[in-house]
Structure 1
Amino acid sequence: MATTKWIADPDRSEVLFNTTHLLLQNITGYFRKIKLEVATEEDDFTKFYGIVFTAKIDSLDTSDKERDAYLKSAGFFDSSKYPVLKFVGKKYLNSFDEDKLIGNLTIKNITRPIELLVEFSGKTIEPDGLTKVGFSVHGEINRKDFDLTATTMADLGSLLIGEEVSFNAEIQLMKLVEEPVLKST
């Protein structure tokens, strides 16, 4: 069986997260710089050899510069010490009513198992011959499981965000085409 490699189209993929602020409203943020690489058996995503997703913490954007600066600071994500978060897929469960991707999420060098719900959106071949597939991915974590906590009372007062963080990703993967090896004559 041949291995097929896929990468996320950075212009057509996004990862957003939601939590509460002051227990009054939901806030949404994005990771603007993401990378996703997938290796599958042929084009079968239920038979994958590897899934690695990373997001650069400094690309975090909640549309509030003060809040973003705090979230990136040593008091929370500590992006200078831990510049990326990483998910490594371990197992894909395909069932009648929902698909799940089981893997490990690492934030601040703390790794925890998580389960993601996955929905296949479709497959297309573009006019230039490039094959693309789409997926929606949903999950939830408790930020305290990854030491994403306020470090002082002043931090707590400025933050006041919920412990449960849900995230959604709309991912468009592009199939990598292997270039033929040119033979010299």
Structure 2
Amino acid sequence: MTKWTVDQVHSAIGFEVKHMMVSKVRGQFDSYTAEVEAEDLTDLTTASIEFKIDTASINTGNLDRDNHLKSADFFDAENNPTIDFKSTSISKNGDDYKVNGDLTIKDVTKTVTFTVGFGGKGINPWGVEVYGFEAEGKINREEFGLTWNAALETGGVLVGKDIKIKVELQLNPAV
């Protein structure tokens, strides 16, 4: 098995959620680590994938909202410093892969599935082979204890339940 690292300069872990039932808030986590091991990254079914995301690195472009998300109302970053993902199975599905794994947020672990597309491989300017992937998934935030909300006078709620997750990765050989 070969070990791979995430090139964070060319990667992103992002999300979006409905706001006030009419628009979307997008954000990302700016700090994370990943361990990927695989026999061959052109066949992701041979891989083992683990992520640790720094909860306090959440960034929606609004400091007040980010501080609220870090608070006990949402992630409680002080007591839950990471969001963890560990793959449990990976299968080929047409041109894509289905990556199943355990996602842990606020000490709640649920099985989630990401659809992963292989973006290709290339050689960087230093002669090193790199691989690209895009992953998408969706979770219900309330299932992970992220239940804070506010009712709107016009009906509905301030924050939607469904969180769309999008991950873009460039993997480099571990040194």
Query: TM above 0.5, one fold?
Result: yes
Partner SS for 2:9: coil
Following superposition, which runs of at least 4 residues in structure 1 exceed 3 angstroms of deviation?
none
- Equivalences for residues 150-161 of structure 1 within 5 A: 150=148, 156=150, 160-161=158-159
Kept in 1, the 8 Å contact 2:96–2:118? The answer is no
| TM-score relative to the length of structure 2 | 0.91
Query: Across the two proteins, how many residue pairs are aligned to each other?
Result: 170
Q: More displaced, 121-130 or 57-66?
A: 121-130
- Of the three residues 82, 93, 96, the one matched with 1:95 is 93
Structure-2 separation of matches of 1:93 and 1:65? 39
Partner SS for 1:63: coil
Cα deviation, 1:58-107, whole Å, max 9, x if unaligned, reads 11011111111111001110000001101101111112243110101000
- Point out where structure 1 has 5 or more consecutive residues left out of the alignment: 178-185
Structure-2 separation of matches of 1:127 and 1:14? 21
Q: Which amino acid aligns with 1:28?
A: R
* Corresponding residue number in structure 2 for 1:136: 134
Structure-2 separation of matches of 1:74 and 1:172? 33
Q: Which amino acid aligns with 2:80?
A: Y
Partner SS for 1:66: helix
The structure number with the bigger radius of gyration is 1
Cα deviation, 1:147-183, whole Å, max 9, x if unaligned, reads 0011xxxx63698210000011111010124xxxxxx
- Point out where structure 2 has 5 or more consecutive residues left out of the alignment: none
- Of the three residues 34, 53, 56, the one matched with 2:54 is 56
| TM-score relative to the length of structure 1 | 0.86
- Equivalences for residues 1-185 of structure 1 within 5 A: 3-43=1-41, 44-48=43-47, 50-150=48-148, 156=150, 160-177=158-175
Counting aligned pairs with the same residue, the percent is: 35
Partner SS for 1:68: helix
